[in-house]
Amino acid sequence: MDLGFHVPIFDIDGGTTAIAGELAEVGAAAEAAGATWLSFMDHFFQIEPTGLPAESNMLEGYTTLGYLAAHTSSVTLGLLVTGVTYRHPGLLAKTVTTLDVLSGGRAALGIGAAWFEREHRGLGVPFPPLSERFERLEEALQICNQMWDPDNNGPFVGEHYHLEETLCSPQPITKPTVLIGGGGERKTLRLVARYADACNLVATSPEEVAHKLDVLRRHCDDAGRDYDGIRKTVMAHKPDVTPDRIDEFVTAMAEYARLGVHTAIITPSTGSPAAWIDAMSPAVPRLAELG
């Protein structure tokens, strides 16, 4: 099992002027630890699950990833996850392509249907009903696949998006990994089976994740897709992940590794995330022993 880091908090010790330097150190710490994944959120206001108010610091995700591309050399970079409503899919594919080229082939496209209504309303971004957001998500996945096909620069005509040309030059160095976030059994996991290279679930319990993976397997069977070809990742929050509880964390993750989960993603919650990541680094070789 691999370890990834997800950084959702930008209230950095030292204030706003310290953010850039701290994020550079985050990249260095993640790679020194042997992490395979480094991500940020795709939000413009802070979200309540972090325990912080909306007024707390938040950086635009792809600009942040571009900055990290220049301060890392091996870790995969992505957002967990891009809200489909925030960017036109053609422009999103171009943005992720740019990240891939400038990072030397390390971009991932994490994507989902979006949910945070307050920031949509606050910033004037249309917030269609959930059913339409899922329709748009599926079309966005189709558009990105077409944009990343060097032999298909033709039009795309969908219900919500019409592109006269899907020209994307240069092409990515490595076709970005497509990761769909969420565990919705009827829509989200069906899209994973049809379009994604990876999924991201919340590690609520081994029993719940086992159930979600069984649902995914059935969707793969329906789609004629190899279930084993999809990378499984989880957001690990229970038990509370802190450097003084590494033994407990590794023990808990062993149950998910037995389910076939490839990557556990954990979240520093301090104003000094680089130091937190460094302190968690002993977990990396121990997780690797889980298989």
How large is the average pLDDT for residues 241-265? 97
Within 10 angstroms of residue 256's Cβ, the number of other Cβ atoms is 25
Report residue 213: phi and psi, to 5°. -70, -35
How large is the average pLDDT for residues 142-160? 98
The whole-number pLDDT of residue 269 equals: 86
The whole-number pLDDT of residue 162 equals: 98
Nearest CA among 67, 42, 16, 4 for reference residue 200 = 4
pLDDT digits (tens, 9 = 90+) for 36-56: 999 999 999 999 999 999 999
The rounded distance, in Å, linking the Cα atoms of 60 and 99 is 14
Homologous superfamily of 2-289 in CATH? Luciferase-like domain (3.20.20.30)
Whether 40 and 10 have beta carbons less than 8 Å apart is answered as no
Task: Let me know how long the chain is.
Answer: 291
The rounded distance, in Å, linking the Cα atoms of 206 and 259 is 8
| Distance, first Cα to last Cα, the chain | 5
Residue type, position 155, single letter: P
Beta bridge pairs of residue 76? 37
DSSP character for 176?
A: P
How large is the average pLDDT for residues 120-128? 98
The dihedral built from the CA positions of residue 32, 33, 34 and 37, taken in this order, carries a sign that is negative
The whole-number pLDDT of residue 107 equals: 98
The rounded distance, in Å, linking the Cα atoms of 87 and 172 is 19
Show the tokens assigned to 77.
């970079």
Residue type, position 108, single letter: A
Beta bridge pairs of residue 79? 40
